[in-house]
Homo-oligomer: A and B are copies of this chain.
Amino acid sequence: MKLSPLEEYGLRCLIQLARRGGVQPVTIRQISDGEGLSPAYVGKLMFLLQKADLVRSTRGVQGGYVLARPAREMTLNEVFQALDPGALEDVCGKFTGNNGAACVHDGSCSIKAVWKGLSERINGYLERVSVADLAQAPQLQEA
């Protein structure tokens, strides 16, 4: 039950974009300097975020990245989904044990029900927190 590095760092990059927040694109170099990450790694993160339509890129000399939408309308749920696809989903499909393709609990699977309830809770919380919340306040959000 934890955040992956991709989720953590990707989120930070988005927050930095939101903070610099102008119309002027922010370059990978600027982001990587600001966050203490390698340019190559930031490139990969931005690639993932762009595929999920969270950032928009401009190439060439004055190029860089801007948020694709206002930070206020960008939820943590979307962000994590983009950076670690299929995380909170399909538990019974992933963990099947060695008995073959099907879950040994097939039919009366209680784990599935619990996990569903749990993931709904978590996603519910993540949907109520926007990137703007994080970008603006150093204080705890009581969303």
Contacts and interface: CB of A to CB of B under 8 A. Distances in A.
A34 B108 CA distance: 14
Given A88-B1, A125-B118, A113 B96 contact: no
The oligomer's copy count stands at: 2
Interface in A1-29: 1-5, 7-9, 11-12, 15
A113 B135 CA distance: 11
Residue among A35, A37, A100, A114 facing the most chain B CB atoms (10 A cut-off): A114
Contacts of A8: 91, 95, 111
Contacts of A2: 1-2, 4, 84, 87-88
A110 B35 contact: no
Nearest to A137: B110
Interface residues of A, number: 56
Interface in A107-135: 108-111, 113-118, 121-122, 125-126, 129, 133-135
17 contacts: A1-B88, A2-B84, A2-B88, A3-B91, A12-B111, A15-B110, A34-B104, A35-B97, A36-B96, A36-B97, A110-B134, A110-B136, A113-B141, A117-B129, A117-B142, A118-B125, A118-B129
Interface of A: 1-5, 7-9, 11-12, 15, 34-38, 76, 80, 84, 87-88, 91, 95-100, 104-105, 108-111, 113-118, 121-122, 125-126, 129, 133-143
